[in-house]
Chains A and B, each alone.
Chain A
Amino acid sequence: MANKRVQFSHPIIPYLFIAPQMLIIAIFFIWPALQAAYLSFMLEDPWGMSREFVGLENYQYLFNSAEYLYSFGFSIVFSALVAFLSLGTALILAVKANAVLHMQSTYRVLITWVYAIAPAVAGITAYFIFNRHIGVMYDFLNSLGWQFNPEADAVDASALLILVSVWKQIPVNFVFFLAGLQGIPKAVREAAALDCANERRRFWTITFPLLAPTGFFLLVINITYAFFDTFGIIDTLTQGTPGGRTTTLVYKVYQDGFLGADLGLSSAQSVVLMLLVLSLTFVQFRFIERKIHY
C-alpha cells in the first residue's frame, strides 16, 4: 500500500483548517450533549430557579415508568416498520422504474417530488385527508368496513403515522436505489442473463447483493429518520394520542422537557437516546458493513 498521507510542513496548519468545523461541532453538538448529561443528574424546578443533584434518580424513575418503557418499545417497532416498509417500497419502485425504457425521467420526477415536502406539511395534509369530519380517506376506510378512528384507536393512529412517514421517506430511498441499480455494470447484468433464466432469482442472487452497500447506507439514514425526523409528522398528526400510545422517544423528550418542563428527566431521556444511537451506529458499521463491501 502506498502511503497516502500528505505531510504538512507545520503541524499546526491542519488543525487550523479544521478549526471552524470543530468549533461548530463543539458549540452545537458537544456542548449541548454535555449539558444534557449534566442536567440528567439534576432535579430542576419548572422555572429554572434552583437545581439539586439527585444522582441516578432521573434514570431510575425513567426505567420504572411504564409510559417510558412503552414509548421505548413503540419507537423500536415504529422505526423498524418505517425503515423496512419505505426501503422495500422504494426498492420495488426503483426496480420497476429502472426497467421502464420510455419516459423514465417522468416516473423519476413523479416519485421524487414528494421529497420537497416538509414533514410538518405532510403531517397536516394527512391530517386533513384522514380527519374524522372532512377526511376523504376517513370516510373511504370506514365505508370499507374498517372502523378507522385514529383519535381513539392506538393501532389506527400508529398505522396512520407509519403510512405518512413511509410515504415521506420513499423518494430519498428511491433515488439512491435507482442510482445503485444504474451503477450495476450492464455487462454484469448481461452475464447473469446468460447464466440464469429466472428473473426473480437473478434479482436475489445478483442485483440485490450488489445493492447491499446502498441498502446499508439507506438503512442507517432511515432509522435515523424514523427516530428523529418523524417528529414533525407526529406533532401535527397525533401529538402522541391516543393516551401516549404514539409517543416515540424523541417526542417524549419534547413532551417531558418542553411541555412538562421537567428538564432533568428530559435530559436523562436524551442521554439514553444518544447511547442508543451510538450503539446502533456501532453495530451497523462494525458488523453489517464489513460483510457487504467488495
Chain B
Amino acid sequence: MGALKLSSIEKTYPNGHRAVRGVSLEIEPGEFLVLVGPSGCGKSTILRTIAGLEQLTGGEIHIAEERVDERLPAKRDIAMVFQNYALYPHMSVYKNMAYGLKNRGVSKEEINSKVTEAAKMLQLTDYLERKPSQLSGGQRQRVAMGRAMVRSPKLFLFDEPLSNLDARLRAEMRLEIKQLQRKLKTTSVFVTHDQVEAMTLADRLVVLNQGEIQQVGTPKEVYHQPANIFVATFLGAPAMNLFEARVTSANEMTLNDGQTIQLPAEMANRVEPGRNVTVGIRPEHLALTQNGQRPLLNFETGLSEELGTSQLLHGKIAGTDCTLNLPHFDQHSEDQLGVVFEPKHLHLFDVETGKRIDHG
C-alpha cells in the first residue's frame, strides 16, 4: 500500500513551459523521500501539485489509495513547510499553530493539548504568545514545523525549508527534522538542491532534471551506482571526473592520448570492442603513486586547493580536466604525477545516451 502515488503526472504552465514530464513515483508509509535536482528542474512544481497549489495537466495523484488531485488543498490531509516559513504575521505563535485545527472544527481542549505538546517538542513553549516578527529565523522555522505537525497529516511536504538559515543552524535543523520525522513516522517529501541535505535526510532519493526522473534509490545506490552521467556529475562535490575512451579489446580501453585502462573485472567481455564509452571516476577514488608503485595513468599537475580535511589537486589526464581529492596535504612541484585507482571504482556510460553500461 502506497502512502503517496504519482501516476505519470504532467504540469505545463499556462505560458507553455512543460515543467513536469510524466513523473511516476510510489512512496511507502513513513518514508522520507527527497527530491533533488538543479534549479528549475521542477522540484517545487511537483511538490506544489501534490499540495494542490498547482493544477495537474495530466496524470493522477493518490494519497493513501484515495485520488486527491481534484480536491482542494485543504482537503488532501497534507501539511507543507515553506522556504520562507509563510507564517501568519498577525497571529501569535499559538494561533499560527492552532489555525488549521480550528478551521477543521477540532475542539478547544484538543487544540490546546496538541499545540502545547508540539511546542514542547520544538522548544517553543516560552514563545507561544509572540508574533512571528519577534522570533529568530530558526524559531520561525520551528513554528512552521509545529504548524505542520499539530495537524497530524498523512503527508508532510517540505520545500527547501532550511535554505534561509545560516550554515550552522541549517545543520542543526536538518538533524532535528530527521529526528522528528523518525518519531512521528509521517510520510514526507522533502525538496532541496543541497546535496548534503539530500544525502543525509533521504530514505530514498529522487534525482530530477528538466522535469524528468533521472534515478530513484537510496542515497548510497544513487551515489555509488549513478544511472547516468547527469546523476553521476550532479551528486558529489567535487564532481565525478569523466573521460572519453574507446574499448579496444575484451578487457581494455584506450583514452584520447593512447593511455590504456583495464576494464573492471566484472565488465570484461560485457562491452564489445570498438565501442565508444565515457569513463567516470570520483575524485576521492583517485590516488597518487607511492614509493615505486606502477602508475595506471599520467596526471599533469595544476592548481591545488587546501580544504582542511583534504586537498583538491586539479590537473589533466589525457587532455581532460580532472580533480583528485587527496587525504593529505602535500606540496606537488612535479609537472607529471602517476595516478592509481581500483578498477571497481570505474563507472562506464554510453557516449550517446549517457546511460550507465553495467546495468545488465
Seen from chain A, the residues whose Cβ lies within 8 Å of a Cβ on chain B are 185, 187-188, 190-198, 201, 205-206, 209-210, 212, 294
Q: Is the CB of B74 within 8 A of A194?
A: yes
Contacts of A194 in B (CB 8 A): 51-53, 73-74, 78-80, 100
Q: How far is the CA of A231 from the CA of B147 in the complex (A)?
A: 52
Contacts of B133 in A (CB 8 A): 294
Q: Which residue of B lies closest to A191 (CB)?
A: B86
Q: How far is the CA of A212 from the CA of B89 in the complex (A)?
A: 12
We find that the number of chain B residues with CB closer than 8 angstroms to chain A is 25
Contact of A294 among B53, B72, B86, B131 (CB under 8 A): B131
- Taken residue by residue from 65 to 88, chain B's Cβ proximity to chain A (1 for < 8 Å, 0 otherwise) reads as 000000011110011101111111
Known A197-B72, A197-B75, A294-B90; contact A191-B80, beta-carbon cutoff 8 A = yes
Contacts of B82 in A (CB 8 A): 187, 190-191
Check if B99 is an interface residue, CB within 8 A of chain A: yes
Q: Which residue of B lies closest to A212 (CB)?
A: B90
**Candidate in A187, A188, A194, A294 with the most chain B CB atoms within 10 angstroms:** A194
Q: How far is the CA of A206 from the CA of B99 in the complex (A)?
A: 10
Check if B103 is an interface residue, CB within 8 A of chain A: yes
- Taken residue by residue from 109 to 140, chain B's Cβ proximity to chain A (1 for < 8 Å, 0 otherwise) reads as 00000000000000000000001010000000
Contacts of B147 in A (CB 8 A): 191, 195
Q: Is the CB of B99 within 8 A of A195?
A: yes
Contacts of B78 in A (CB 8 A): 194
Q: Is the CB of A195 within 8 A of B100?
A: yes
Q: How far is the CA of A196 from the CA of B147 in the complex (A)?
A: 13
Return A106 CB to nearest CB of chain B, in Å: 18
Q: Which residue of A lies closest to B95 (CB)?
A: A205
Q: How far is the CA of A212 from the CA of B72 in the complex (A)?
A: 27
Q: How far is the CA of A196 from the CA of B53 in the complex (A)?
A: 13
Q: How far is the CA of A192 from the CA of B103 in the complex (A)?
A: 10
Return A58 CB to nearest CB of chain B, in Å: 47
Q: Is the CB of B84 within 8 A of A195?
A: no
How would you classify the secondary structure of chain B's contact residues: helix, strand, loop or mixed?
Answer: loop
How would you classify the secondary structure of chain A's contact residues: helix, strand, loop or mixed?
Answer: helix
Q: Is the CB of A197 within 8 A of B90?
A: no
Contacts of A212 in B (CB 8 A): 90
Interface residues of B in 178-218 (CB under 8 A from A): none
20 CB < 8 A contacts A-B: A185-B84, A185-B86, A188-B89, A190-B51, A190-B80, A191-B88, A191-B147, A192-B99, A193-B74, A194-B51, A194-B78, A195-B100, A196-B74, A196-B103, A205-B99, A206-B88, A209-B90, A294-B90, A294-B131, A294-B133
Q: How far is the CA of A210 from the CA of B117 in the complex (A)?
A: 28
- Listed from nearest, the 10 A-B pairs whose CB atoms lie closest are A187-B86, A195-B100, A197-B74, A196-B103, A191-B86, A294-B89, A209-B90, A187-B82, A193-B73, A194-B73
Q: How far is the CA of A209 from the CA of B96 in the complex (A)?
A: 14
Contacts of A205 in B (CB 8 A): 99
Return B12 CB to nearest CB of chain A, in Å: 16
Q: Which residue of B lies closest to A205 (CB)?
A: B99
Q: Is the CB of A187 within 8 A of B88?
A: no
Q: Which residue of A lies closest to B72 (CB)?
A: A197
Q: Is the CB of B99 within 8 A of A196?
A: yes
Q: How far is the CA of A46 from the CA of B90 in the complex (A)?
A: 57
Q: How far is the CA of A52 from the CA of B87 in the complex (A)?
A: 65
Q: How far is the CA of A201 from the CA of B100 in the complex (A)?
A: 12
Contacts of B86 in A (CB 8 A): 185, 187-188, 190-191
Q: Which residue of B lies closest to A187 (CB)?
A: B86
Return A29 CB to nearest CB of chain B, in Å: 36
Q: How far is the CA of A225 from the CA of B232 in the complex (A)?
A: 67
Q: How far is the CA of A191 from the CA of B131 in the complex (A)?
A: 17
Q: How far is the CA of A265 from the CA of B352 in the complex (A)?
A: 96
Known A193-B74, A294-B131; contact A201-B103, beta-carbon cutoff 8 A = yes
Q: How far is the CA of A190 from the CA of B47 in the complex (A)?
A: 13
Contacts of A294 in B (CB 8 A): 89-90, 131, 133
Return B149 CB to nearest CB of chain A, in Å: 13
Query: A197-B72, A294-B133 known; 18 other A-B pairs, CB under 8 Å?
Result: A185-B86, A187-B83, A187-B84, A187-B85, A188-B87, A190-B53, A191-B80, A191-B86, A191-B87, A193-B72, A194-B52, A194-B74, A194-B79, A195-B74, A195-B99, A195-B100, A196-B100, A294-B131
